[in-house]
Structure 1
Amino acid sequence: MSIQPSKTVPLAGLAASDAAKDAPPKPLINLLRGWPAPSLLPIAQLQTATAALLTDSSIVVGSLQYGPDPGFQPLREQLASYLSRTFAAYDAPNDLERICITGGASQNAACVLQSFTDPSYTVCIWMSAPCYFLMCPIFEDAGFAGQLRAVPEDVQGTDLEALERGFREFETSPPSRPTFKPNLAPQRKVYRHIVYVVPTSSNPSGVTMTVARREQLVRLARKYDALVIADDVYDFLQWDVPQADANLTEKQSSVALPPPLPRLVDVDRMLPRDDEGSEQSDIHGSRHFGNAISNGSFSKIVAPGLRTGWVEATPAFSYGLAQTGSTKSGGAPSQFSAATISVLMRTGELDRSLQEVVRPALQRRHCLLIRAYEKYLSPFLELKSGNFSTRESKLQATYGGYFVWLKLRRADLSATAIAKRALAKENLVIAAGPLFEVKGDESSARFDDHIRLCFSWEDEAKIEEGVERLARVLRNWDETLSEADPAPAGAGDFK
C-alpha cells in the first residue's frame, strides 16, 4: 500500500526534489467547510428583493420595526402554503399557526431549550451519533454539560433500541422536584428528554432515516415524554443520483425535488394518539404541544448570513416558542431578513434558485466527488454514503445535503493523524471523525476511523484535486516524514 523510497537517488531526482522545495505552496483546499459556495448565493435575486421591499410602502416600515412574536406574518403564510404543497402527500395543513419564524436552526435550538427544558427535570440530550458537532456547545450552554448522550446510528437512522434502553435507564430515578421553571405553564412545558436528529441527509453521515424508523421514533418520544428536535435543513437539497455511467460533460439545467419523505413533525401529526387523558394531557389541559418539531433554516437554501429559519410544530408549541423571553423582548428575530425572504418566495425566485442553480450544482459536485473517490480513494477508504445508483440496484437513488462519510480500510490508521498530515503535506483541510463524537460521551460512539468530505464549498476542479491530494497522503503513509506534523486547524476556523 506504500511506495518505498529508493536507496539511491539519481541526479534528476535531486533536481526535482530541490525544485519542489523552492516551489510555492499549494493553494489551500478546504473539504471540511460546510458552507454554500459563493456561486450558489442568490445575490442578484436578493438585491432585487431588497430593493422591492424598501420601496413598498405597505410593508417597509413593518419590516424595519420590532416584529410580532411569531414572526413576519407574510412569510409565515407563504411558508405554511409552501410546506403544505411540498408535503401534500402527507396532508400537511396550510396553517400559519403551526409556523414560528426563528433566527436560524442553531439560534432556535437555544430558544427551544429555554422554553421547553430544565436541567433539573430534563434527564438528557440524546444525540444521534455521529452528530453535528456544533450543537454540543448549544446544549452545554443551556445547562446540559455532562448530560449529553450518544445514540449510535445505522443505515436506517438512529438506533431506537439503544435509545429506548437509555430512556428506561432513567425511569427509576424520578426528579426530586418538577422544575426550576414554574413560569412556563400553561403556554410552555418541560420535556423529560430531548432527542436531536438530522433525519434527512444527516450531517456528517449522509444517512436518511427510513419512514418506519421515523414512526418508531415518534412512538418512543410519546411514550417517554421526549421532544424530538429534527434539524430539517436539507429536505429541499435532495436530488436523483445519476447512474454510474452518466455523462458529466453537460450540466443539468434544472433538477426537481424528488418526492420527499414525511418529516417527523408530519409523522407526529398523522399517527393516532393513544395518550389522550394521560397525566401529561391533564397537566397541560387542552394544550397539545406534540413530540416532534421541524427545525427549518434558510441558511442552506438561500444564504447563511440571513440568519433566518422557522419551526413547524403544533399551534400550541409554536405559540409557546414565540413566548421565549428573548423573542418577546424584541419580537421575532431577523425581521428584515424574513421580509426579504418573503419577497423571494412570493415572486417564485426561491424555487427557481433551488431548481435551476443550487440542486443542479450540488448534484454535479456530489457526482464529481464520488467519481474522484472511485478513481483515487477507494483502495484506502470505504464509502459509507452517497454512492452512485446502478441499473441493478436502486440503493441510494436519491441523495442530498453537503457531505459524504468514509471509513478507513486500514485498522492501524487514525483519521486525526491523517487530517494533520493532509494539512502539513498537501495544504488540504478535511474533517476527522472524532470531531463528530458527542461531547462528554465520546466513548459510546468512536469515529477515529472515519473522515467527512464536503462537496458544497470548493470549486468543482478543486474537489477532484482535493480527493487526489488525500489519496496521495494515504498512498505514501508509511514513508517517514522529515518534519513533525503540525496541530490540525481548529474546527471553528472552518465550520
Structure 2
Amino acid sequence: MHIDLIRTSSKSLPHQISETLSQRISSGLLQQGVRLPSVRSLATALRVSQVTVSKAYDVLEKRGLIYCRQGKGCFVADPEHTRRQEDGRWQDVYDDYLPRAQLWRNFDYSEVKYPFHIAAIHSELLPLKNIGDSFASLVTQQPELMATYGNFQGDLELRGIMRDHLKTRGIALASSDVMITSGTQQGIDLVARTFVGPGDTVYLEAPSYTGAIDVFAGRGAEMIFVPTDSEGMRVDILTRMCDQRPPKLIYTIPTFQNPSGVTMSIAKRQRLLELARSYRCLIVEDDPFSDLYFHAPPPPTIKSMDSEGHVVYMKSFSKVIAPGCRIACVAAGGNILSRLIAAKSASDLGSPLLTQRAVLPFIAGKYETYAAQLRVTLRGRMEKAAKLLKLYAPPGVKYILPEGGLNLWLELPASPDIGKLHELAEQESISFLPGDVCYSAETPSRHIRLCYSQMNETDMEEGLRLFLRLLGRFLQMGS
C-alpha cells in the first residue's frame, strides 16, 4: 500500500498514516472486511518504524474504523465484522495511489426520491431543447465533426465567445488566453498535475469543494484549511499561516462558495491577490455560480484585478446550461496557460469538438437572457426553502441564507452522528452531503449541505419538510 508521507510536515507520521487510511475507508476505497497490511509490512513499505504504524492503527481502532485480532491482523470494520470471499482477494492488496476519493460517492444516490446531495439544477429549468436541437442539426448537417479531433486549447470560435463573455465581467483577455476544458473539475486537475507535487503547500477555504480536495490529495499536497467568516476566507489568518509555510497555490471559490454559500468581500479579494504577488504563487479562482446572484451582482472577480498573471480563473458553463456537456473555460496568461494546454493534450487530446459547437450558439446568443430568468427562479426556490427552514428547523440548527448559488449550509448543534442521520435519511429516500467530505482533517464536521435546485419545486418543498422533521426527531434522540 502506497502512502505519500511528508516528513517535513507539521503533522506527525502516525497522524498522516491514520488520516490517509481513514479517508480511504470513508470514501469506500477500502471496503468493509478488507484486511490491512501487517504492521511490519506497512512499516517496511513506508520506511517508518513499526511503532509509527502501530500508533496509526491504534487511532483508527479507537475511532471504530478498523478492528484488530491477535494473530489474524487488522480489518476494516463493519457492524457484523464480516469477511469477504477469498475470490479476488489479490485486488485488496494491489497498490494504488489514491489517498481519498470522496467525489464519486457524492453521486451514488440515484434511486432516492429527494436528492439534496448534488449541487445541480433540475432539468426542467435547463435549456436542454435548445442545445439538443443544436446537436441534432450538427450531426445531420456536419457529421464530419464526429470524425475530427478538436484543438487541444479548444474551438477558436467558442474561445472567442467565452473571451467576450468574460470581458463583460471585467476580465480583459485575448482568445489565446482561454482554454476549453471538460468542466472545471478537469481544469483543477490540470493545474494540480502541472504545478503541485508531493509536499507542496496548498491553501483552501474551510470548508471547500470535495472534488478539489480529492485532486490535491492525489498529488500528495500538504493541504492547509483556512477558516472563513461571513465575508469569505480569513485572509488575515492565511497571511500568518504563509509566514510559516509559503504557499505553492491558493484555491478559492470566492463567490457563493461551495459548500458554505458565503461571498468573499472585495477587500479580501484584493488582499489575497497581494499575498499571491508577494509569495509569487498561483491563485485558482473557481467560479461556478457568479451568474446566479439573487439581488446585486457579486464583487469583481480576483482575475479582473490581476495584472501579473497570478490568477488561473475557471468558469463552468455546463453547470448552468447542461451538466452532461461538460464545458468550462480556463483563463490564464503566458507560460502558465501554455503548460496547462500541454497537460491537457496528454490528458484527453482535446475536448469533443461536437459538444463545443453544440453549446456555442446558446452561449453566444441566449445565455444572458436565460441567466437572468434563472436567477429569478432560483431566488424563488431559495426563498421557499428559507420559509421551510424557519418553520421546521429544529432549535440549535444554524444557517445563513445565501445571496446566490444553489446550496444551503446547515450547522447542527453539539456533535451529532451525521453518519447515522445519513442512514435514517436514506430510509426516507432523502440524501444530503455530509460536511466531513468538505474537509481533509479527521475532525468530524457538524455541517450538512442541501441543494434546493436539484428537484422540481413540489418535491423540493416536500422533501425538505420531511428531512427537517426527521432531523428534529434525530436531534431529540441524541439529547
Fold shared by both chains (TM-score > 0.5): yes
Match of 1:81 among 155, 161, 164: 164
Read off the aligned partner of 2:244 and give its amino acid letter.
Answer: E
From 445, 448, 456, the equivalent of 1:447 is 445
Q: Which residue of 2 aligns with 1:72?
A: 155
Amino acid at match of 1:455: Y
The one-letter code sitting in structure 2 at the alignment partner of 1:266 is S
How far apart in 2 are the matches of 1:355 and 1:478?
Answer: 39
Q: Which residue, 437, 446, 458 being the options, matches 2:455?
A: 458
Matched letter for residue 207 of structure 2: P
Distance 1:42 1:136 in 2: 31
Match of 1:435 among 437, 441, 460: 437
Q: Which has the larger radius of gyration?
A: 1
Q: Distance in 1 between matches of 2:264 and 2:337?
A: 25
Q: Which residue of structure 2 lines up, in the alignment, with residue 130 of structure 1?
A: 207
Letter in 2 for 1:96: S
Deviation, 1:94, is 5.0
With over 3 angstroms needed to count, the CA separation of the structure-2 counterparts of 1:474 and 1:36, relative to structure 1, is closer
- The CA distance in 2 between the partners of 1:315 and 1:338, in whole Å, is 24
Aligned pair 1:381/2:397, yes or no?
yes
Q: 3-state SS of the aligned residue for 2:320? A: coil
Distance 1:77 1:460, change over 3 A: same
Partner AA of 2:206 in structure 1:
A
Q: Which ranges of structure 2 fall in alignment gaps of 5 or more residues?
A: 1-110
- Structure 1 position 197, deviation (Å): 1.1
Q: For the residues of structure 2 that align with 1:417 and 1:329, how far apart are their CA atoms?
A: 39
Indicate yes or no: 2:421 matched with 1:418.
yes
Mapping of residues 87-236 of structure 1, within 5 Å:
87=169, 90=170, 92-93=171-172, 95-119=174-198, 123-144=200-221, 147-170=222-245, 193-236=248-291
- DSSP 3-state at the match of 2:250: strand
Q: CA deviation at 1:328?
A: 5.5
Structure 2 match to 1:18 = none
Kept in 2: contact 1:110–1:142 (CA 8 A): no
TM-score (norm: length of structure 1): 0.69
1:200-226 per-position Cα deviation (integer Å, ceiling 9, x unaligned): 101110001110000011111111122
Name the SS of the counterpart of 2:416 in structure 1.
coil
| Partner deviation per Cα, 1:356-388 (whole Å, 9 max, x = no partner) | 3x32332221111011111111634122232xx
1:301 aligns with 2:294: no
Q: What SS class does the counterpart of residue 68 from structure 1 fall into?
A: coil
- State the TM-score, normalizing by the size of structure 2: 0.71
Distance in 1 (CA, whole Å) between partners of 2:197 and 2:263 is 30
Distance 2:235 2:185 in 1: 24
Q: Does structure 1 retain, via aligned residues, the 8 Å contact 2:213–2:438?
A: no
| Conserved? CA contact 1:431–1:453, under 8 Å | yes
Inter-CA distance 49–350: structure 2 relative to 1 (3 Å threshold): farther
Give the secondary-structure state (helix, strand or coil) at the position aligned to 1:466. Answer: helix
1:332 is paired with a residue whose SS is coil
Q: Does 1:351 align with 2:354?
A: no
CA contact (8 A) 1:230 1:292 kept: yes
Is the CA contact (8 Å cut-off) linking 2:149 and 2:352 kept in structure 1?
no
CA gap of 1:97–1:422, structure 2 versus 1, over 3 A, is same
Structure-1 separation of matches of 2:415 and 2:133: 55
Deviation per residue, 1:55-105 (Å, 9 max, x gap)? 566xx64675122222100001111112112x1xx4x32521221111110
Pick closer, same or farther for the CA change 1:77–1:349 going to 2, 3 Å. same
- Deviates most, 103-112 or 373-382: 373-382
Kindly indicate whether the alpha-carbon contact (under 8 Å) linking 1:197 and 1:230 is maintained by their aligned counterparts in 2: yes
How far is the alpha carbon of 1:474 from its aligned partner?
3.4
Tell me the secondary structure at the aligned position of residue 321 of structure 2.
coil
Alignment of 1:464-483 (within 5 A): 464-477=461-474
- Check the 8 A contact 1:419/1:429 in 2, yes or no: yes
Between the aligned partners of 1:231 and 1:127, the Cα distance in structure 2 is: 11
The question of 1:46 aligning with 2:131 is answered yes
Pairwise CA distance, 1:265: 0.9
2:405 is the counterpart of 1:401: yes
Q: Which AA in structure 2 matches 1:49? A: S
5+ unaligned residues in a row in structure 1: which ranges? 1-25, 172-191, 241-257, 270-287, 387-398, 482-495
For residues 232-267 of structure 1, give each alpha carbon's deviation from its aligned partner in whole angstroms, at most 9, with x where no partner exists: 111112222xxxxxxxxxxxxxxxxx4342111112
Give the Å deviation of 1:51: 3.4
**1:262 corresponds to 2:300:** yes
